[in-house]
């Protein structure tokens, strides 16, 4: 045993190579914190999240509450909402307080964004992993199915299905979009799993006699999932954009739900005369979508050591 | 005569070469391993050398039961590895382990060292005395600081990572370890650390090694017996002295002569082979080495030389270490044509 | 006495990346004479490739920054030259071949055309003449049936053949200095032997200065006249090839020789060098080798040993033209003691 201990002593003097980095994630976090775009996105999204979760903090009116047609289309007294009086954002064509509508209109797009992404992500992780890991028949089958979905224009598909079920709420809409959404993410997940599947450390686990479930959960998923998560984050923004489009086209959510897309839709005939009706929801929508994209971008860059 | 722990008979692996995406057509096959036979004795190290692509890693995977052979058998203590049920194969894993070539890719970057070395126990059940204690013990055995169990692989140097891989392979107290180029990816100054560690462990635990490498000096240093591979076949096998001091196969002779020696007083390569290794998808007929062999004659293109004792070879010691050579004209003397 | 063919003088190179500065080269100096083969030996990360890229002027900057030092070609400092004049040296006076020949060749162009291109651009040859010369060059690096293979693409060549093509390209403009950065590391031993033989024959034919970068102590012993051993971005020992192997004067060289197995020696115990190569973001103070050095004393952790002459060198066979060129140098406080055994 004495020789082994000598080796031990030798190796210890070699010490751990004092890498400046503790781990990929903490490194990525430090990199993120340094980015201005990351913080801008975080602040905007935090604000939007607060609007969606606790609208009562920002307005004491309910959705479509206290609307008075006689007060319709009141322009905001000033572009500075803090200086303006009773209706800081003015009122819409039904005489509802536009600020209150904006606040209540936040929840729907954000919930749909997360739900659709969540549904698609779950499907992608399960199907992508199975298809990438087991390959062969299942893979061939899933690949053909994703091909078919790829050939289908997403917006058209959504319009067709949603028109067929006219009275749908937020959740049905999310479900439909989620079903149309999974192929892209699944394909990404499958590619990731494929690239990790033959990694040496997976082979090593197999040689230890580890079972498939263990290999999948301990080895493949943790190494395959990061890019899919980043993609999902970018995706939330994209879904919000789609949701607004569907609302605007009149096939998405319906009155009495309030959403930015519906507000835009309401404004479409008259916005040349009342531009603020377009500008407010437009700005909120763009800011939110952009923030998700910026956030996803920042996380992706931070996780990719080659870009540093 | 020492007991044989591993017996390999006529092991063959042909990979199909396919074309087309949807309807795959087989257009040929890569003969990665083609009729390899050898045995490994308890406590010995069998070195396996050959140039890149000659089938060393494929052979290692076959031995580990990670690939199914096209034909042939691998017997572990007399039992056919490929005839085992899944459960039996899992149990066999406890007895046979592998150390991989690349210390940078063979450890899961998202697992701590403790989890990596402890994984065998997660799979096969905890050892006496508890997993944590045993993991720390293993780290100590391979010369790492047991305090480092919570670190991640990237915080270690290549040599240290290779030690982690060795600790993982040792965890289940195996009898046989297949080492696929365990030091090739390491810095020169660190290679010797790992080679000495492997030698110490062998002495301490009575391990048997199949030691694969392309570096002939490394193989000579660590092996008791050596097999030389060319294009999926063993062309010469014998004990270390027979192969290195009395090679009889022209390929072995050329290979040895090509190895540069860190000694300027010695002359450079005497035999420089022409050309490259032919593709294993389309190996030459007869003797596979004939396209580069300076001794080739007509018979070499038609008759495949068997791996057998040759008159030109030194008689092995009677302890059962025959010197086998697959050349029609095996002689110890190098004759340039 | 005229200036040496190539002189690298106190070269310092840093990589400045986010959050850390890696000192890849820290005061590297060497000279190369006409017709001489200098081997630069070192482990991975010791700064061999980076310094070679600096000599060629192909360092990516940023992140690389040459913070100090000079690279003189026949007395002209190349680092001070504007890019336009620098280009006249690159390829024409100093050429380089790389370890990874596949990625250094353009996959979508025919091999013959890639060689011809060099001649068309630099020598203003006509396309027809350039093609003809390309085939001649391929012949010269012993590519069988060169004329018909000139029309092949790089992936149709084996590793060894690709390296030959690289050599042909490097020689196209008849450079005075050829830098070969681990030209055989990716190749099998039998092919390595072919390439090394080819390189030394070509060097004799063309009387070039050859810088052979490698980590393999064996490869160096066969072909080099002089060896410069690098550690942590500096030369720690420099000597005629026989001197270095027979009487290493730096503990690192001593350690390397004791730790590599030799094919011609049976059952020799290996004495490894303890520890691991240094982290270049935090090179140890004093002698950079001191944490791994079995001979280290107090002084070693504070005082940086200079590269100094230990003996005049006893290797007349390899003596180059410049006086003192084959002197045995070592950067160790106790070099005499080490060389003494
Ligand atoms: N899955 C596979 N499908 C097709 N061909 C394969 C496969 N695996 C290996 N081969 C081929 O089999 C031959 C032997 O490969 P192997 O990896 O065993 O070589 P090796 O001797 O380990 O080489 P190296 O020294 O480069 O590691 C090669 O020609 C290789 O391309
Ligand atoms: N583009 C780069 N960015 C940061 N560090 C680099 C880069 N290229 C090389 N280095 C560092 O410089 C050091 C020397 O590298 P190199 O000269 O390539 O070593 P070698 O001696 O193996 O050729 C290494 O630590 C390497 O990590
Ligand atoms: S059998 Fe013939 S071709 Fe093969 S090695 Fe012997 S002499 Fe050469
Ligand atoms: S200076 Fe000191 S530490 Fe450095 S090599 Fe010499 S004895 Fe060793
Ligand atoms: Mg291999
Ligand atoms: Mg290099």
Q: Which of residues 92-111 of B touch A (CB under 8 A)?
A: 93-94, 97-98, 100, 102, 105-111
The verdict on residue B100 lying in a domain is yes
User: Residues B321, B232: one domain?
Assistant: no
Given this model, what pLDDT does residue A305 score?
54
Assign residue B153 the CATH number of its domain: 3.40.50.300
Q: Whose CA is nearest to atom 6 of ligand 3?
A: B327
User: Residues B231, B308: one domain?
Assistant: no
The verdict on residue B208 lying in a domain is yes
| β-sheet with B71-76: strand ranges across | B25-41, B4-19, B71-76, B79-80
A20 contact B CB<8A: no
User: Residues B127, B270: one domain?
Assistant: no
Interval between CA C185 and ligand 1 midpoint (Å): 19
pTM: 0.79
Q: Express each pLDDT in C83-116 by its tens digit.
A: 888 888 888 889 888 877 777 788 888 888 888 9
User: Residues B72, B193: one domain?
Assistant: yes
User: Residues B145, B276: one domain?
Assistant: no
Distances, alpha carbon B283 to alpha carbons B37, B54, B233, B287, B288, in Å: 19, 11, 11, 9, 6
Partners of A20 on chain C (C-beta within 8 Å) are 19-20, 281
Structure tokens at B106: 């063979």
- Residue A206's CB is within 10 A of a number of other CB atoms, namely 18
Given this model, what pLDDT does residue B333 score?
66
In the DSSP assignment, the letter for residue B69 is -
Q: Which of residues 97-136 of A touch B (CB under 8 A)?
A: none
Q: Looking only at Cα atoms, what is the longest distance across chain C?
A: 68
Stretch A222-246: mean pLDDT: 87
Stretch A297-305: mean pLDDT: 76
CA distance A107 to A48: 9
Mutate to test the interface with A, among B93, B99, B103, B143 (most CBs of A within 10 A): B143
In the DSSP assignment, the letter for residue A218 is I
Interval between CA A152 and ligand 6 midpoint (Å): 50
Given this model, what pLDDT does residue A12 score?
33
CATH of the structural domain A104-293, one choice from 2.40.50.220, 3.40.50.300, 1.10.3720.10, 2.40.160.20: 1.10.3720.10
| β-sheet with C6-17: strand ranges across | C20-32, C6-17, C64-73, C76-77
Average pLDDT, chain C: 84
Q: Express each pLDDT in B130-152 by its tens digit.
A: 889 999 989 988 888 888 888 88
Given this model, what pLDDT does residue A117 score?
92
* Closest CB from A10, A210, A219 relative to B193: A10
User: Residues B278, B229: one domain?
Assistant: no
Given this model, what pLDDT does residue A22 score?
47
A13, pLDDT greater than 60: no
| E runs forming strands in B22-145 | 25-41, 45-49, 71-76, 79-80, 96-99
Decide which of B202, B232, B247 is a domain's last residue: B247
Examine residue A256 and say whether the peptide bond preceding it is cis (omega within 30 degrees of 0): yes
Q: Whose CA is nearest to atom 3 of ligand 4?
A: C290
The CATH architecture that domain C6-224 belongs to is 3-Layer(aba) Sandwich (3.40)
The verdict on residue B23 lying in a domain is no
- In 3-state terms chain C splits into helix, strand, coil percentages (rounded to 5) of 35, 25, 40
User: In chain A, what percentage of residues exceed pLDDT 90?
Assistant: 10
User: Residues B301, B200: one domain?
Assistant: no
Torsion of CA C331, C332, C333, C338, to 10 degrees: -140
User: Residues B38, B143: one domain?
Assistant: yes
User: Residues B225, B271: one domain?
Assistant: no
Q: Express each pLDDT in B77-103 by its tens digit.
A: 888 988 888 888 888 888 999 998 888
Q: Which domain holds residue B293?
A: 248-337
| β-sheet with B45-49: strand ranges across | B96-99, B176-180, B208-213, B45-49, B225-230, B233-239, B324-325, B308-309
CB atoms B120 and A4 under 8 Å: no
* Whole-complex ipTM: 0.82
B275, pLDDT greater than 90: no
- Answer yes or no: are the C-beta atoms of B245 and B259 closer than 8 Å: no
Q: Express each pLDDT in A20-54 by its tens digit.
A: 344 566 777 887 888 888 999 999 999 999 888 88
C313, pLDDT greater than 70: no
CB atoms A14 and B122 under 8 Å: no
Decide which of B198, B230, B247 is a domain's last residue: B247
Partners of B201 on chain A (C-beta within 8 Å) are 4
Partners of A203 on chain B (C-beta within 8 Å) are 66, 100, 106
Structurally, how many domains does chain B consist of? 2
The verdict on residue B333 lying in a domain is yes
Q: What are phi and psi of B309, to 5 degrees?
A: -65, 135
User: In chain A, what percentage of residues exceed pLDDT 70?
Assistant: 87
Domain residue spans in chain A? 104-293
Decide which of B227, B247, B267 is a domain's last residue: B247
Domain residue spans in chain C? 6-224, 248-261+270-339
User: Residues B204, B283: one domain?
Assistant: no
Q: How confident is the model at residue C246 (pLDDT cuts 50, 70, 90)?
A: confident
Mutate to test the interface with A, among C16, C17, C18, C292 (most CBs of A within 10 A): C18
Pocket test for ligand 2, best of C17, C19, C50 (most atoms within 8 A of CB): C50
């Amino acid at each position: 045993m004495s020789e082994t201990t000598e080796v031990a002593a030798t190796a210890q003097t070699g010490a751990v190579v004092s890498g400046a980095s503790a781990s990929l994630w903490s490194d990525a976090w430090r990199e993120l914190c340094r980015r201005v775009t990351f913080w801008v996105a975080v602040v905007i999204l935090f604000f939007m999240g607060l609007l969606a979760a606790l609208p009562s903090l920002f307005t004491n009116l309910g959705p479509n509450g206290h609307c008075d047609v006689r007060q319709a289309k009141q322009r905001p007294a000033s572009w500075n909402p803090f200086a303006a009086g009773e209706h800081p954002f003015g009122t819409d064509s039904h005489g509802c307080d536009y600020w209150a509508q904006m606040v209540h209109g936040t929840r729907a797009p954000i919930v749909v964004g997360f739900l659709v992404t969540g549904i698609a992500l779950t499907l992608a992780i399960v199907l992508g992993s199975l298809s990438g890991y087991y390959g062969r028949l299942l893979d061939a089958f899933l690949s053909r199915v994703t091909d078919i979905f790829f050939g289908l224009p997403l917006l058209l598909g959504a319009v067709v299905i949603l028109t067929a079920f006219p009275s749908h709420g937020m959740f049905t809409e999310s479900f439909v979009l989620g079903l149309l959404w999974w192929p892209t993410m699944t394909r990404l997940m499958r590619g990731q799993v494929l690239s990790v599947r033959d990694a040496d450390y997976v082979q090593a686990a197999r040689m230890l006699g580890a079972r498939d479930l263990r290999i999948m959960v301990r080895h493949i998923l943790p190494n395959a999932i990061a890019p899919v998560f980043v993609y999902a984050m970018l995706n939330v923004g994209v879904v919000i954009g789609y949701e607004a489009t569907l609302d605007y086209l009149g096939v998405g959510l319906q009155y009495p739900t309030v959403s930015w897309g519906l507000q835009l839709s309401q404004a479409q005939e008259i916005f040349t005369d009342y531009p603020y009706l377009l500008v407010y929801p437009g700005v909120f929508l763009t800011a939110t979508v952009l923030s998700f994209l910026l956030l996803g971008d920042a996380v992706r860059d931070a996780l990719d050591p080659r870009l540093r | 005569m020492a007991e044989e722990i591993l017996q390999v008979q006529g092991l063959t692996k042909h990979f199909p070469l396919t074309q087309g995406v949807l309807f795959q057509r087989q257009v040929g096959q890569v003969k990665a391993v083609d009729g390899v036979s050898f045995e490994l004795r308890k406590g010995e190290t069998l070195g396996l050398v050959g140039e890149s692509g000659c089938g060393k890693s494929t052979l290692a995977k076959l031995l580990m039961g990670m690939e199914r052979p096209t034909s042939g058998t691998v017997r572990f203590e007399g039992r056919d590895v490929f005839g085992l049920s899944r459960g039996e194969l899992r149990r066999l894993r406890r007895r046979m382990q592998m150390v991989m070539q690349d210390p940078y890719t063979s450890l899961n970057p998202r697992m701590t060292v403790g989890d990596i070395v402890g994984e065998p126990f997660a799979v096969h059940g905890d050892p006496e005395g508890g997993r944590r204690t045993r993991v720390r013990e293993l780290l100590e055995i391979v010369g790492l600081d047991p305090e480092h169990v919570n670190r991640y692989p990237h915080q270690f140097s290549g040599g240290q990572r290779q030690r982690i891989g060795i600790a993982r392979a040792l965890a289940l107290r195996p009898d046989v370890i297949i080492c696929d180029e365990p030091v090739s990816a390491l810095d020169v100054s660190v290679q010797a650390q790992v080679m000495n560690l492997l030698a110490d462990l062998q002495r301490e635990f009575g391990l048997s090694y199949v030691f694969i490498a392309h570096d002939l000096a490394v193989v000579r240093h660590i092996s008791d017996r050596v097999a030389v591979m060319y294009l999926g076949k063993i062309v010469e096998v014998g004990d270390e002295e027979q192969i290195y001091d009395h090679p009889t196969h022209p390929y072995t002779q050329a290979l040895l002569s090509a190895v540069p020696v860190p000694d300027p007083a010695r002359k450079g390569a005497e035999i420089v082979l022409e050309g490259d290794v032919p593709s294993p998808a389309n190996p030459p007929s007869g003797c596979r080495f004939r396209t580069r062999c300076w001794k080739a004659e007509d018979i070499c293109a038609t008759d495949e030389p068997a791996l057998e004792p040759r008159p030109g070879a030194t008689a092995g010691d009677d302890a059962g270490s025959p010197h086998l050579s697959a050349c029609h004209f095996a002689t110890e003397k190098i004759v340039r044509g | 006495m005229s200036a040496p063919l190539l002189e690298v003088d106190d070269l310092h190179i840093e990589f400045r990346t986010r959050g850390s500065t890696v000192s890849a080269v820290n005061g590297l100096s060497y000279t190369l004479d006409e017709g001489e083969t200098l081997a630069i030996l070192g482990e991975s990360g010791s700064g061999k490739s980076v310094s070679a890229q600096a000599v060629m002027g192909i360092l990516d900057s940023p992140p690389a920054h040459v913070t100090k030092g000079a690279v003189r070609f026949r007395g002209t400092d190349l680092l001070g030259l504007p890019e336009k004049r620098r280009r006249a040296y690159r390829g024409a006076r100093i050429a380089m071949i790389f370890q990874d020949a596949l990625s250094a060749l353009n996959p979508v162009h025919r091999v013959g055309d890639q060689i011809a291109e060099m001649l068309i651009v630099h020598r203003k040859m006509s396309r027809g003449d350039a093609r003809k010369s390309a085939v001649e060059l391929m012949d010269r690096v012993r590519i069988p049936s060169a004329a018909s293979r000139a029309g092949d693409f790089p992936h149709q060549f084996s590793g060894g053949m690709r390296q030959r093509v690289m050599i042909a390209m490097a020689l196209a403009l008849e450079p005075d200095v050829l830098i070969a950065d681990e030209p055989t590391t990716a190749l099998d031993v039998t092919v390595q032997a072919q390439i090394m033989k080819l390189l030394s024959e070509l060097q004799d034919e063309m009387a070039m200065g050859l810088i052979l970068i490698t980590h393999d102590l064996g490869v160096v012993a066969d072909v080099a006249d002089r060896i410069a051993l690098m550690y942590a971005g500096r030369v720690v020992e420099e000597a005629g090839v026989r001197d270095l192997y027979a009487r290493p004067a730096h503990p690192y060289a001593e350690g390397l020789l004791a730790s590599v197995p030799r094919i011609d020696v049976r059952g020799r115990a290996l004495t490894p060098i303890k520890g691991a190569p240094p982290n270049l973001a935090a090179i140890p103070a004093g002698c950079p080798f001191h944490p791994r050095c079995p001979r280290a004393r107090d002084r070693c952790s504070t005082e940086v040993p200079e590269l100094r002459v230990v003996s005049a060198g006893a290797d007349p066979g390899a003596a180059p033209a410049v006086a003192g060129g084959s002197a045995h140098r070592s950067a160790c406080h106790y070099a005499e003691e080490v060389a003494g055994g």
